[in-house]
Amino acid sequence: MDLSVDADRLRADLEANAAFGRIADDDPEKCGRTNLTGTEANRAARDRLVERFEDAGLEVAVDAVGNLVGTWVPDSADPDAAPVASGSHLDSVPNGGIFDGPLGVYAALEAVRAMRDAGVEPARPVAVASFTEEEGATFGNGLLGSSVATGVTEPDEALALENDAGETLDEALERIGYRGGEAIDPASWEAFYELHVEQDTVLEEAGADAGVVTTITGITHCEATIEGEANHAGATAMGERTDALAAASEFVLDVEAAANEVVDKSSDSAVGTVGSLSVSPNATNVVPGRVDAGVDVRDVNTESMETIVDAARDSLARIGRERGVETRFERPFDVAPAPMSDRIRDAAHAAAETAGLTAIDLHSGAAHDAMRVAAVTDSSLLFAPSRDGISHSPREWTDWADCAAATAVLAGAVARAATE
């Protein structure tokens, strides 16, 4: 069915949400935000979303970790039928963009409003979800709210996580008024759609209006520790050093080489990154005594991820033997690649065709809440084009017309699923 999305209404929602934690810039297309879970900006964004839910006639629920769901139950719907849900998240990385997350939340709300305005009579309720702490910038490693909702993480475990100030998620949510007690269970949903900015250039280069994701990349985080001996940079001869940072530099290059080898031989979507280094004592005139390195490995193929992780582990062991440093390797975060549902992907393609829009298949190199939901019900991830592929930056930008077009695909797909 062809639904009319109100592009101006959607833009107004996104611009209003961008004001919470706004990073000022004279260029309106470089308007970033910092909206971290538990902050006043986060409270304000949540408050406004609840108001918009209520204005649209949605019933609001908040669970123990602050996940928000608004549900539309029109007269045509069986209130006991499994809802069709859609949504994303409101939190951001520090100095992030205004579309990453909120586009998916407010596009889902706009889909409901477009259905209502068009007189669509769904047989099922339609839900709009906003998951807590998707980015992992404050509590945990990311996908926290959807992990709790889908049973991967226990609520008590999540609530005990602490931010850098030592405040628990429990305390932060209580302070901003979003420590709820209602049950939100994606396993009870008929289907789930998430619309997100692509964060790459595939759609832009193809001139496509929307992307329909086939598989969301797996992601694993590893922590490597290298301990040498801190010593005077001037008085310690080169042959007498056990330099942890020099050893770590080999490790960084080995991870890069392992990822490049996998790309050359088996999977061109594989990536491996050493994205963080903590050097101690981190003084110019001291030979580094310890380095903690954070490793990020991703791919849509589990085997290639394991190959890179194994290579990183082997590299660390070799460096320990050859350089006389002590090493440790841990893997605290691991999410398998998540194929999306063919059934509701087909509905998205049909919705795009009906609306006269172009949608193409592609994979996602970033993790999203849809991959957690995919473990418990049919799930689909849709993309809107990203200018130059920039994201997690104030320079993140998706043209307003592109936001509306992708939202029209989402609305059509949700309406099809809800009226079946």
Question: 271-280 and 290-299 as β-strands: parallel, antiparallel, unpaired?
Answer: antiparallel
- Confidence tier at 93 by pLDDT (50, 70, 90): very high
Q: Minimum mean pLDDT among 6-20, 29-43, 86-100, 148-162: which range?
A: 29-43
Which amino acid appears at position 51 of this protein?
E
Q: Is the pLDDT at 389 greater than 90, yes or no?
A: yes
- Confidence tier at 1 by pLDDT (50, 70, 90): low
Which domains are assigned to the chain? 7-216+338-419 (3.40.630.10), 218-335 (3.30.70.360)
Q: Is the pLDDT at 157 greater than 70, yes or no?
A: yes
Please state, in angstroms and rounded to a whole number, the distance separating the CA atoms of residues 93 and 105: 17
Q: What is the pLDDT of residue 229?
A: 98
- Going by the DSSP 8-state scheme, the letter that residue 220 receives in this structure is E
If you average pLDDT over every residue of the chain, what do you get?
A: 96
Q: What is the pLDDT of residue 166?
A: 96
Average pLDDT over residues 168-173: 98
Q: Is the pLDDT at 140 greater than 90, yes or no?
A: no
Give just the sign of the alpha carbon dihedral 308, 137, 336, 349: negative
Question: 290-299 and 218-227 as β-strands: parallel, antiparallel, unpaired?
Answer: antiparallel
Please state, in angstroms and rounded to a whole number, the distance separating the CA atoms of residues 193 and 180: 24
Average pLDDT over residues 349-365: 96
Q: What is the pLDDT of residue 28?
A: 67
Please state, in angstroms and rounded to a whole number, the distance separating the CA atoms of residues 406 and 260: 33
Q: What is the pLDDT of residue 141?
A: 83
Q: Is the pLDDT at 294 greater than 70, yes or no?
A: yes
Q: What is the pLDDT of residue 128?
A: 98
* 305 or 31, higher pLDDT: 305
- Confidence tier at 335 by pLDDT (50, 70, 90): confident
Q: Is the pLDDT at 309 greater than 70, yes or no?
A: yes
The string of pLDDT tens digits covering residues 17-73 is: 999 999 877 676 778 999 999 999 999 999 999 999 999 999 999 999 999 999 999
Q: What is the pLDDT of residue 2?
A: 65
The string of pLDDT tens digits covering residues 173-229 is: 999 999 999 999 999 999 999 999 999 999 999 999 999 999 999 999 999 999 999
Residues 6+ apart with CB under 8 A from 32: 22, 23, 25, 95, 96, 97, 98, 393, 394, 395, 396
Q: Which two tokens stand for residue 2?
A: 């062809």
